Structures are given as structure tokens and as C-alpha cells.
Structure 1
């Protein structure tokens, strides 16, 4: 089930926004906030579909999201991620 208004359910909603907009090794800590988030997929789709360039979104860094966007520049990421979730597949920047 896709959650349209996903932000209020995000695991990071209690964190400082600055915690998600970091560089280098700090990004790994930021990505940990996304682990187990109930709306991780919706968050990632938002960032990809809107080509958000900064911060960790849906457990992916800017670099990881750019790799996905290069592979499928015209994709509807909501559709891709929703289908992957329904089929139990994982979308990876390295695949």
C-alpha cells in the first residue's frame, strides 16, 4: 500500500534536519535513520521523481540516487519502487 502523505510517518521526523544533510562518512549514520522506516520507499520515490540533489532520502545518498537516475532517466520512480515492493525485489544503485 502506497502512503501519499508519508512525511508524518517518517522515522526521521524527530531528528534534526541537519542530520540528513551531511557529507562523507556521516552519510552512513544518516542512512541508519532510514533503516526500518515504514515510508522509506515513498521517501526515496519523492527524491528520485523530483531529482532532489542533496541529503539522504529513503536510505540513499546523493551519489546513489544519481546512479539510479542515470540508469533510468525517464522512469516514474514511484511506479518502479511500488512494483519492486509488491514483487519483493530490492532496487539497488549498483545493479
Structure 2
């Protein structure tokens, strides 16, 4: 099920925002916060659909997100990720 008010359930909601807007090796630490987040997919879709340029969102750095956007610049990432989640849930 897709969560529209995802930020209320985000694993990072009580962290300092600056912890997710870091550079270099510090990004790996920021990505760890996302690893067990229940709304990681919604967060990533938000960043991709709105082409957010900075920070770690949904467990991906800005460089990783830019690579996805180059491959599919006009995609509705919410639709793509929601469909992928639905398929994965059906398989389990």
C-alpha cells in the first residue's frame, strides 16, 4: 500500500536534517538510516518526481538519482515504484 503522508513515518523524521545532506563517505552513513525505513519507496519517488538535487532520499544519493533520471527522464517514478512494489508483494 502506498503511503501519501510518508514523511510522518520516515525513519529519519527525528534525525537532524543536515545528516542527510552530506558529501562523500558520509553519504553511506546517511543511506543506512534509509535501509530499514518503511516509507523508503515513497521518499525516493518524491525525490525523483520532483528532481530534488541534494541529499540522500529513499536510500539514494543525488548521483544515483541523476543516473536514474537520465535513463528515464519523463517517467512517473511514483507509478514505476508503486508497480514494482505491487509485483514484489504478489511474488512473496
Common fold by TM > 0.5: yes
Q: Distance in 1 between matches of 2:88 and 2:19?
A: 29
Cα displacement string for residues 15-73 of structure 1 (whole angstroms, at most 9, x for unaligned residues): 10000000000000000000110000000000000000000000000000000000100
Q: Which runs of 5+ in 2 are unaligned?
A: none
Instruction: Say yes or no: does 1:40 pair with 2:50.
Output: no
Alignment of 1:82-93 (within 5 A): 82-88=82-88
Within 5 Å, give how 1:13-52 maps onto structure 2: 13-52=13-52
User: Where has structure 1 moved over 2 Å in runs of 4 or more?
Assistant: none
Distance 2:63 2:87 in 1: 26
In 2: Cα distance, 1:69 partner to 1:47 partner: 10
Q: Which runs of 5+ in 1 are unaligned?
A: 90-95
> Are 1:74 and 2:71 counterparts?
no
Structure-2-length-normalised TM-score: 0.94
Aligned CA RMSD, in angstroms, stands at: 1.0
Counterpart of 1:65?
A: 65
- Secondary structure at the counterpart of residue 13 of structure 1: coil
TM-score using structure 1 length:
0.92
